Structure 1
Amino acid sequence: MSLPSYPQAQQAQIIRAHQRDLYHVSSLREQTESVLRSWLGTRWLTRWDREVDLLVKLAYYGVTTGRATQTLGEEYTDIWQYSASSQRAPPSSRIRASLVLLPTICAYSLGRLGNAFALRERLPWLGEVLKSLPTGLEVVSEINLAIFYLRGTYYDLLKRVFRIQHISSIPEDPHTRPPSYSLLGLLIIARLLYRLTTAVRTQAVNTTSASSLRGKEKARASPDSRETFLDDRPVSSFLGPENPEGEPATPAEDDERTMLDIVSIPDTVRASRNCTLCLEERTDSCSTECGHLFCWSCIVGWGREKAECPLCRQSLNLTRLLPIYNL
């Protein structure tokens, strides 16, 4: 009596499983954010949104892949992970831990380090590397995806590195031909070639422009012309932090960007100055194009996630926010 052999998972099953996993992770994050928003407020959630996303992904993949069980997407399509280098045995504990930790922690670290303004000021070369690294990883992931569509194995780049494939518990039908996704792979390759050509042309134009600008600047540069002044104040002093929503909340009494005497305002009037996002008294007040007032840090954090006003859903352009000093 021979043991039953399971066929390789089809491309459609792997793609569908990945889509279902993304859906469940997104749904779990929305529910987590809803609970945290009601407990701790929108401002706290905006400041720690990356950490929340990290914990949600670690929790979802930790209790599934980390425990050598199917994810909800794999269970939906009835496929299982196995190690191609160990005769269809389940992945080892170290490989499972790598599959859970590497994609989540690396993405989180790149996001945090890429926004570290102080680090980029001290080490400009490191800032440029961190800025270009996500683009490089995106290109490598697209190349891996094109290979998957052409050959049908290793949908995820990390699984290609560790040689993790899928088997299906659904027997093959000899009378049915599985669908082919080779055309999608060719389209991805064509898009990558177009991006490469565009990047080379842009780099050539930028190099020519930079060399001409350097020549002009050397002709009229002086030691005292490094800083630009406006009314005897350097322009750099007007620039705020690059990540304002990550800054701690400022009490309304300490708001320096208002002409009002906050302390002398009656409590009934101050109650009407609350920001609808953080539910606290507005600081660094600004107005959107549709006329609604918010804290600067709150609306910037919101606008980076959704380009619409949180009240009227009109399109939101962060470059058109208007500072308000008397409301």
Structure 2
Amino acid sequence: MATLSSSLASPPYPFAFAPDIIRAHQKDAYFQGLLTNQLTDLHRRLLGARSAHAWSTESRTLADLIYLSLTTLLGNRTLGEEYCGLVQVEASPSPSNPDHGRRLPSIQRRAAYIAGSILLPYGLAKLLPAIRARIRTRLQRDLARAEARAQSSSSDANLKGGGKPATQTWSYKIQTYLLTNLSTLTSPAPVHALSLALFYFSGSYYELAKRLTGLRYIFTSRTQTGDAGEPSADRAGYELLGVLLVVQMSVQAYLHVRSTLASSQLASRERNAGGAGSEVGRLAS
């Protein structure tokens, strides 16, 4: 390990390419799945099938935590990394000199990666429903108050020709938008999709946790690359997948904006029609 650490800064150890990173990740996922099945089977034998099903998420999280604690946390390579000939290193702090500072990650950074890839997603999955419920309750209460104020002051506003109703203010519109799209706005899926698109273009960070902790892969053999350090034919990048993913996200964003604008225009027409009807009724009386 000391010999490898002292020689990581030399040019013969290039950064890994996207296909090998994905292959290593898939290999690790396979072994993590085997460990999850073993823990689930043990849980079922001890506490029954109902308990094993209820705690399936915890079993998977525990299996992933055990797997990375016995490999990454201890400074060892995972089975997927060994299979693909990869070594995890800290990203270079100097873009102008990428070979400088390429060293094995410290235990603090390895622990941060494990926490970010396993514990943080698990915690968010448990906390997000409660957070969404509190935000939704607050928004519904604020919107109900605004609608009540608008109804109580609608007759005075019509007589005086005064200011804008409470249901037409920007604050009301923003709160309505947040309430309608609360699940989408608080979902981590768009962030992961953006990180994956960046990986397809750059081939640097397949996982968001590795991007946040600055961990990259290098090859331990020069035979993994072609001429001038370029990827060989069987290690071509995934730029096309990146383009397709960006197109997909752009289409989804366009459809979301169009749907939001259409809903806003429809609500505005309904309010105007309701206001005109109340005005006609007032004049007729």
Pairwise TM-score range, normalised by the shorter structure:
0.5 to 0.7
Aligned to 2:114: 100
User: Which residue pairs with 1:296 in the alignment?
Assistant: none
What is residue 113 of structure 1 aligned with on the other side?
A: 127
In the alignment, the residues of structure 2 paired with residue 182 and residue 174 of structure 1 have an alpha-carbon distance, to the nearest angstrom, of: 19
Distance 1:120 1:85, change over 3 A: same
- Picking from 249, 252, 258, the partner of 1:201 is 258
Question: Is the aligned partner of 1:183 residue 2:240?
Answer: yes
1:150 aligned partner, one-letter code: F
1:158 aligns with 2:209: yes
Greater Cα radius of gyration, structure 1 or 2: 2
Deviation at 1:196, TM superposition (A): 0.7
Determine the structure 1 residue equivalent to 2:27.
20
Aligned twin of 1:53: 60
Cα deviation, residue 133, structure 1: 5.5
Q: Following the alignment from structure 2 to structure 1, what is the Cα–Cα distance between the partners of residues 85 and 114?
A: 20
Q: Are 2:76 and 1:63 aligned?
A: no
SS state of the match for residue 67, structure 1?
coil
Determine if contact 1:110/1:130 at 8 Å carries over to the other structure. no
Q: CA deviation at 1:191?
A: 0.8
Runs of 4 or more, structure 1, over 4 Å off, are 125-130, 208-218
Map of 1:224 onto structure 2? none
Aligned equivalents of 1:57, 1:46: Cα separation in 2: 17
Call closer, same or farther: CA 1:166–1:122 in 2, change over 3 Å: closer
Q: CA deviation at 1:89?
A: 1.0
Please tell me whether residue 33 in structure 1 is matched to residue 34 in structure 2.
no
Q: Does 1:144 align with 2:151?
A: no
| Aligned-residue CA RMSD (Å) | 3.2
Return the offset for 1:158.
Answer: 2.1
Aligned to 2:149: none
Q: Specify whether residues 9 and 125 from structure 1 end up closer, same or farther in structure 2 by C-alpha distance, changes over 3 A only.
A: farther
Secondary structure of the 2:13 match is coil
Alignment partner of 1:23: what SS? helix
Any conservation in 1 of the 2:136–2:182 contact (CA below 8 Å)? no
1:219-238 counterparts in 2 under 5 A? none
Aligned length: 216
Aligned equivalents of 1:122, 1:165: Cα separation in 2: 37
Q: Contact 1:110 / 1:134 at 8 angstroms: preserved in 2?
A: no
Compute the TM-score of the two structures, normalised by the length of structure 2: 0.65
Give yes or no for contact 2:198–2:242 (8 Å, CA) kept in 1. Answer: yes
Superimposed CA distance per residue, residues 134-171 of structure 1 (whole angstroms, 9 cap, x where no aligned partner):
63x22222222222222221122222222211111221
Counterpart check, 1:90 vs 2:104: yes
- State the AA in 1 paired with 2:220: S
1:86-134 deviation per Cα after TM superposition (whole angstroms, max 9, x unaligned): 61111111111111012222211222223449x8258635996983466
For 2:103, what is the secondary structure of its paired residue? coil
Report the equivalent of 1:316: none
C-alpha distance in 2 between matches for 1:58 and 1:183: 33
* Aligned equivalents of 1:141, 1:22: Cα separation in 2: 17
